[in-house]
Amino acid sequence: MATVKDTIHRVRAYVAAGHASKSGLAVSAGLTANALRGLESAEWNPTAETLSKLEAAISGSTVVDVPQDTALAGKRILLIVAGGIAAYKCLELIRRLRERGAAVRCVLTEAGARFVTPLSLAAISGDKVYQDLFSLTDESEIGHIRLARDADLVLVAPATADILARMAAGIANDLATTALLATDQPVMVAPAMNPRMWEHAATQSNIAALEGRGVSRVGPAAGEMAEADAWGVGRMAEPADILAALEAFFGAGGRLRGRRALVTSGPTIEAIDPVRYIANRSSGKQGHAIAAALARLGADTTLVSGPTEQPDPPGVAVVNIESARDMLAACEAAGPSDIVVCAAAVVDWRVAEAAPRKLKKKDRKQSQTLELVENPDILATLSRAGPGRPRLVVGFAAETESVIDNAIAKRAAKGCDWIVANDVSAGTGTFGGDSNTVHLVSAEEVEDWPTLAKEEVAERLALCIADALEGAP
């Protein structure tokens, strides 16, 4: 009778040869998904009966159980294969992605090509494999920037310690890292390395930096390593787990899929003359995080942002503006939206007539008076009742006193649905800081949220928005 190890070996060989999906195999052998997972990690102890069913399934089954309703259908994945032992698993991953209707295009690093051939990747992906940044043909045909952007997600699998370090440092010294730096799409990494390399402070700090920038991660898993007698955390996640992570990434998007969202973020700046301006201390962190969270839930998201240091959130169309009037024009040009979140700190007034030339000291009298006029009210304009009104308009109230009372009054005055009220008085560190303490004010109630990281506030707000729109046409 086959040992568990033999069976695992044969299951893998069978699946790698493309005869049936593992789930098909599981169905034909009467296995549960848990048992299959246990089988792969060798923790599962099958009875003789199940083993013989498996044997039969391995030799006779042609069942291909491919989920039809998958979030991966139609998705374009740019797969970056780096130089780790686990690169061989990519072949199965690509096959299974394609079974689910995803298109896979591969970029292979120089080291990656030591582990898996471009020929195998091209044959399994059904597409050309890109390896050289300086290929004249590739550059004239597609160009590295388009290569980086013509995808719904960039997946690095296996992600070596080396490529993670180069990504964290923003190095672009080959096609893979140049594409990673040039992409405006979400990035997911599947790290794979020796456990000591994984645990090293350098790798841990690199992965933390990448996650902080919105890169998602699947694995690494614990288990036996390729090196004899090595055990620990560092194995690349199994293709099934990577698929599950991708399904969750795109599938979670289902909640706001088909919805259009518009988010404003950052400060506006209002010119006094060509070199001076009026602005405020908004960093854009909260607004950008909200745009990213809505996009993660699948909303087709546009972010209209004043000048900030924040990187463009993955998967979000960003329109950069300066003044309040530009911001309103960009919001109106973005077209109808289901969801509007006005998180920008719009300067309330602008200089009545900005000087066309730099104001000189000699132009000034003892004191200089600037005449200020009111800027358009973006929140009130977008909240206005009418046939094109978004389903949900959320404003922000940055207050330094009577935070909740002022927010309740602001909600009524602007005609928006919700106000996220936050205390921005000196000492709270809200402006520019990483956390926020907010109250969500609606017509019915005031919810007090605990102090949360701005990303968590964004996540929670996006989920509240998804709840509110649940079932709405």
Ligand X SMILES: Cc1cc2nc3c(=O)[nH]c(=O)nc-3n(C[C@H](O)[C@H](O)[C@H](O)COP(=O)(O)O)c2cc1C
**Calpha distance 106→118 (Å, rounded):** 9
DSSP 8-state class, residue 267: B
Please identify which residue in 24, 26, 46, 112 interacts with ligand X, judged by CB under 6 A: 112
Smallest gap from residue 90 Cβ to ligand X (A): 12
Smallest gap from residue 161 Cβ to ligand X (A): 4
Shortest CA distance to 186 belongs to which of 41, 76, 333? 76
Q: Scanning the structure block, which residue is given the tokens 């719009």?
A: 346
Residues 338/260, Cβ–Cβ less than 8 Å:
yes
**Helix, strand, coil fractions of the chain, as percent rounded to 5:** 40, 20, 40
Q: What are phi and psi of 117, to 5 degrees?
A: -85, 150
> CA torsion angle for 358, 362, 363, 367 (degrees, to 10)?
110
Residue 163 binds ligand X (CB under 6 A) = yes
Residue 220 binds ligand X (CB under 6 A) = no
Residue 468 binds ligand X (CB under 6 A) = no
Residue 193 binds ligand X (CB under 6 A) = yes
What HEC string does 84-132 produce?
CHHHHHHHHHHHHHHHCCCEEEEEECCCHHHCCCHHHHHHHHCCCEECC
**Calpha distance 191→182 (Å, rounded):** 21
Q: Scanning the structure block, which residue is given the tokens 């091209």?
A: 122
Please identify which residue in 151, 153, 192, 379 interacts with ligand X, judged by CB under 6 A: 192
Smallest gap from residue 83 Cβ to ligand X (A): 3
Smallest gap from residue 191 Cβ to ligand X (A): 8
**Calpha distance 142→129 (Å, rounded):** 12
CA angle 197–216–127, rounded 5-degree value: 95
Shortest CA distance to 272 belongs to which of 365, 371, 376? 371
Smallest gap from residue 41 Cβ to ligand X (A): 18
Residues 416/378, Cβ–Cβ less than 8 Å:
no
Size of the site for ligand X (CB under 6 A): 15
Question: Any idea which residues carry the catalytic annotation?
Answer: 280
Smallest gap from residue 111 Cβ to ligand X (A): 3
Residue 161 binds ligand X (CB under 6 A) = yes
Which residue stretch of 161-169, 322-330, 382-390, 405-413 sits at the interface with ligand X (rule: CB under 6 A)?
Answer: 161-169
Please identify which residue in 28, 160, 302, 375 interacts with ligand X, judged by CB under 6 A: 160
Q: How do 339-342 and 392-399 pair as beta strands?
A: parallel
Nearer to ligand X among residue 233 and residue 463 (C-beta): 233
Residues 361/413, Cβ–Cβ less than 8 Å:
no
| Alpha-carbon distance values, 160 to 77, 82, 149, 171, 213 (Å) | 19, 6, 22, 15, 18
Nearer to ligand X among residue 25 and residue 82 (C-beta): 82
Per the document, the length of the chain is 473
Please identify which residue in 4, 111, 271, 355 interacts with ligand X, judged by CB under 6 A: 111
Residue 162 binds ligand X (CB under 6 A) = yes
For 267-415, strand residue ranges (E) read 270-271, 277-278, 300-305, 317-320, 339-342, 349-351, 372-374, 392-399
**Calpha distance 401→421 (Å, rounded):** 11
Which residue stretch of 107-115, 302-310, 318-326, 399-407 sits at the interface with ligand X (rule: CB under 6 A)?
Answer: 107-115
| Alpha-carbon distance values, 427 to 165, 423, 424, 449 (Å) | 36, 10, 8, 19
**Calpha distance 275→471 (Å, rounded):** 50
Nearer to ligand X among residue 26 and residue 90 (C-beta): 90
Residue 129 binds ligand X (CB under 6 A) = no
Residues 35-94 that bind ligand X (CB under 6 A): 82-86
Smallest gap from residue 159 Cβ to ligand X (A): 8
Nearer to ligand X among residue 205 and residue 451 (C-beta): 205
Smallest gap from residue 242 Cβ to ligand X (A): 15
Smallest gap from residue 341 Cβ to ligand X (A): 38
**Calpha distance 17→145 (Å, rounded):** 35
Nearer to ligand X among residue 112 and residue 306 (C-beta): 112
Which residue stretch of 21-29, 154-162, 395-403, 435-443 sits at the interface with ligand X (rule: CB under 6 A)?
Answer: 154-162
Residues 402-431 that bind ligand X (CB under 6 A): none
Interface residues toward ligand X, by CB under 6 A:
82-86, 109, 111-112, 160-163, 192-193, 197
